Structure 1
Amino acid sequence: MSLIDTVRNTIVPVHKEGYIFVAGFFVVSLILGWLWEPLFWIGFVLTLWCAYFFRDPERVTPQDDDLVISPADGRVSAIQMMTPPAELDLGNEPMLRISVFMNVFNCHVNRSPMRGRIVNIAYREGSFLNAELDKASHDNERNGLVIETAHGEIGVVQIAGLVARRIVCWSAKNEPLAAGERFGLIRFGSRLDVFLPISAAPRVAVGQTAIAGETVLAEFGSTKGPVISRRG
């Protein structure tokens, strides 16, 4: 392996949405260091953390229209039947909701859980409660995408959290998305909800760690039984 390959495999690129924040942290570090040298090193560590937060690693995504892939890094915080947000126009019947909570150390780039076409994007202002709370799905600021897939329409909702103050979505209505393709991010702690037709079977357990673009959250057309989990 060449030196260039080694560097590429060691250093994870920072998403462009994070450039201004990393630069801002570094400038503040220089100012603090001018006032008192030890403060520079504290600021420098925070600058490294900021770069780590906005990291955008490559992922290997299974390309199978029967699989639902995690849209976010984090912990599976809920698997339950819930009525989707009204602004998504997905109807009033309960759908399978799988939630992934992202803390401030998780990668926050969001990816499409399935291949399809975006048929609706709906933003809603709201509060900034702890994203782990169940009521955050209804009360918090959020941005939802409806994706038309081979198994019908699904919803993907970006939910701002206690610290998060900015939801970013660079995809547009009628755009096609591949499974695992990046469509947005949320800054500094948040949650992603995926709403699926009841024909989808969960393939993860609450508390499990999910990797965006790689972890299979659910599957369509499976004859397997429910997922059994245990703590080791």
Structure 2
Amino acid sequence: MNDRENEAKPINDQTGHVSEPAMSAAAIDGAAALRSVFQRVNQAAEKAGRVSDRIRVVAVSKTKPVSLIRQVYDAGHKSFGENYVQEMIEKAPQLPEDIEWHFIGNLQSNKVKPLLTGVPNLAVVESVDDDKIANTLDRVVGNIGRKPLKVMVQVNTSGEESKFGVEPSGCVGLAKHVKEACLNLEFSGLMTIGMADYTSTPENFKMLAKCRSEVCKELGIPEEQCELSMGMSGDFELAIELGSTNVRIGSTIFGAREYPKKN
């Protein structure tokens, strides 16, 4: 199973109760779940002495129906994320054009053109992990004539072979390549996925913050201009305390993922 399918079982409220896995879309109140997430984001930001409106919540709607995404959108939310190209291509045209889509899965070069042409309102690709995919994105963005595309460099801060991402030692080089060689891309920050045992491994998030310091020093940009995308349903409060500006919340908003059963 891809590591991006491994978000921890969601805690839905301040009581610490864990959601049941088999909740139908009809039974989910996306608006209420979104409000709960923002309450927790605000509390985590306050604890860390940060301003909560500098923290973006990306609602990750993988495997979820358009009707449920629309429910969360109608509650006033605009930032959504998907992990699979085909799923994003199918959903985006059915939803309002002012949604800011984040692609957060592993992206193959042959899927870049379908993604960019199928989702004109794609705002960010968070998962650039080598020169090849950066170059392909740069070329296709230029060919189709869309505005520069924001990208984040994905860093494998845990050292796990199951995870995608450039090694921490290579993040400066890749970020520099994006900024200097890919004129149709806009380097906007760094992204990582923490280990499963989040609370005892904050070093994954601390490593990304360290990478940001190194990248910003090399590129000569202030750290405020380099986002940190880290934190999912099971660990976003810890990520916020450690500096995250972009948290990717899936099951805590939408309920447990619904994968087709294998024969």
Larger radius of gyration: 1
